[in-house]
Amino acid sequence: MNLKASIVRGLNRHVLPRYRLILKKSANDADALPAPGPMRERLVGNAATALQPWLDAIGGNADAKALIEEFITVFARRPVRDNAGGSGFNGSLCLFAAVRVLSPALIVESGTWKGHSAWLFRQAAPEARIVSFDIEHENLEHREAGIDYRLGDWMDHEVVAGEGVSLAFFDDHISHARRIREAHARGFRLLLADDDLPAEALFVTGLPPAPTAAMLADPAVTAGQILAWRYRGRDFSLTVSPEDVAVRALIAGRHAAPDLSPATYHPRHNGVTVLRLKSRGE
Ligand SMILES: C[S@@+](CC[C@H](N)C(=O)[O-])C[C@H]1O[C@@H](n2cnc3c(N)ncnc32)[C@H](O)[C@@H]1O
C-alpha cells in the first residue's frame, strides 16, 4: 500500500469516525455508457420507453428517444464534470427533457450549487431568461454567460412570473410546501421540484424538503402528524402543520418523473417532479 493510501486508511479508521466523517474518492462515472452501437441503442430505447409517458403527461409531442440522444451529446460536454451533491445522469436527463417540453421563457432556480443545473437549463432552453439563486457561491464552479446568478434566498429578491411560460425549479432542500406557497403568490403556475420524496423515504437525503409535494399528495399525511427518520446516525423529525396541509389546495397536478435506473443503470434520481398550480378561482 502506498503512503497516500495508508494515510487515508488511518484517518478513516482512527480519526474521522469520531466526527462521523469518511474520506472517499469522488465518484465521477456519469459518462459511463455503452459505446455507440446496438447496445447503446438498446439502453436508449429502454430509457425512452420509461420516459415517454411522463413527457406525454407534462405536455407537448416530444419524442423521448430523440431527446435522450440529444441529452447524451449535451451532457458529455458539461462544464461541471463531477456534480456530487447535485443532479446526476438520470436527474439531469429528466430536467433537460422537462425544460424542452415545457419550453419556458423564464426559469427561476433555487439551489445553484456548482452551476450544473443552470447550465443544463441553458442547453435545453437557449432563449429563456434564467435566474439562479443560492445562499452561498463557494461551490459555484461554472458561471454561464447570460445567466443571472444571485446570492440569497429568492424571497429576498423581487422575482415574479412573467408573461410567457414561467418555470420555478426548487432544489434547495427547503420545504416544498413553503416553496409552492411562495411561488403561487408570485404568479408561478409551473414548478419543477427535486428531492420529491414520499413520507417513508425522508431518510434518503440529509435534509429532505419536507413536507414534499409527494407528501402533500398523500392522504395519509395529516396536520399534527410527527414524522421521524434517521440519517447517518442522526435523528430528525418534523411536525406537519395545518399551513402545510393547506398548500394541497394550490396544486392542480403532480407528475413524478419515472425512475430511469433500471434502464440506464445510473443511480436513481431522488424525485424530479413537475407541478402545475391552480390559477385564481380554479
Ligand atoms: C442539492 S444542491 C443544488 C444542486 C443543483 N441544482 C444541481 O442540480 O446541480 C442544493 C443547494 O441549495 C442551496 N440552498 C440552501 N438553502 C437555500 C436557499 N434558502 N435559497 C437558495 N439556495 C439554497 C445550497 O447552498 C446548495 O448549493
Give pLDDT tens digits for 114-157.
999 999 999 999 999 999 999 999 999 999 999 999 999 999 99
Domain ranges of the chain: 34-277
What pTM was estimated for this model as a whole? 0.91
200 lines ligand 1 (CB under 6 A): no
- CB half-sphere exposure, 200, CA atoms < 13 A: 2
Ligand 1 center–CA 156 separation, angstroms: 15
Ligand 1: distance of its center to the CA of 136 in Å?
Answer: 9
> Could you give the 3-state DSSP secondary structure of residue 118?
helix
Residue 129 is given by DSSP the state: E
Q: Which residue, by CA, sits nearest to atom 26 of ligand 1?
A: 113
Task: Write phi, then psi, for 148 (nearest 5 degrees).
Answer: -95, 100
**Does the Cβ of 92 fall within 6 Å of ligand 1?**
no
For domain 34-277, the CATH class is alpha beta
Match 414520499 to its residue by C-alpha cell.
Answer: 198
- Using the atom order of ligand 1, give the atom closest to the CA of residue 109: 6
Q: 233 alpha carbon to ligand 1 midpoint, in Å?
A: 23
Cell (9 digits) for 259: 425512475
- 33 Cα–ligand 1 center, Å: 28
| Residue 127 CB burial class (10 angstroms; 0-12, 13-18, ≥19) | exposed
Residue 132 neighbours by CB under 8 Å, 6+ apart: 108, 109, 112, 115, 118, 147, 148, 149, 150
Of residues 260 and 13, more confidence is placed in: 260
Q: How confident is the model at residue 1 (pLDDT cuts 50, 70, 90)?
A: low
Distance 65 CA to ligand 1 centre (A): 30
Any ligand 1 atom below 6 A from CB of 188? no
Does 115 sit in the ligand 1 pocket, CB within 6 Å? no
Region of poorest pLDDT, from 13-17, 90-94, 106-110, 134-138: 13-17
Strand-strand pairing, 251-256 and 273-277:
antiparallel
